[in-house]
Amino acid sequence: MKMSNDLEKKFQDQITLEFAASITYRQLAIEADEQDLPGIAAWLRHQADEEIVHANKFIQHVSDRGNHAAIGALSEPGVKPGLSVLEIFEAALAHEEKVSESIRELYRSADKEGDYDARPLLNWFVDEQLEEEATVSEIIGRVKLIGEDGSGLLRLDAELGSRPTESTEADED
């Protein structure tokens, strides 16, 4: 079932936001690289790639419905240089919370229009965002425990750097 023009525009906005999230994570990775924390930088780059997967899922959904997927204007990520590790992850959490609220709003809009075809995709994203926020919140808690302890920070860097890499194709779960 083709979605309304209004809902199509909201999905396009979500696609754009997912790409903006990817760019934000890439910039945060640069900030970690600047501090010689390659594991944290790799973790953040992986998150950036995951955001592209998310955008691809929305693109596929819009296209499968007979609508037109489009990416809107992207602006710079607004990440200040010289962030501490704590500030890097707080910025990541703030962006995840923004994405989560946008998905909830998209869900509300689809429900208001009686567009039940969007529910499976949006349910997946609600679950995904809960997981993303919890993961980043846990890392923030650990960074706060570590404080200024260099050995603790290096251990976290090594742990986060051990995350396996994945493809940015939308057909992966």
Distance set, CA 116 to CA 87, 95, 130 (Å): 39, 27, 21
Q: 101 labelled as ligand-binding?
A: no
Q: Identify whether the C-beta of residue 133 lies closer than 8 Å to the C-beta of residue 97.
A: yes
Q: 138 labelled as ligand-binding?
A: no
Q: 51 labelled as ligand-binding?
A: yes
Q: Whose structure tokens read 């703030």?
A: 94
Q: How many CB atoms are closer than 10 A to CB 128?
A: 18
Both tokens assigned to 12: 């396009």
Both tokens assigned to 74: 């992207």
Q: 27 labelled as ligand-binding?
A: no
Give φ, ψ of 83 to 5 degrees.
-65, 145
CA–CA separation, 62 and 69 (whole Å): 6
Q: 12 labelled as ligand-binding?
A: no
Binding site residue list: 18, 51, 54, 96, 129
Binding site residue list for Fe cation: 18, 51, 54, 96, 129
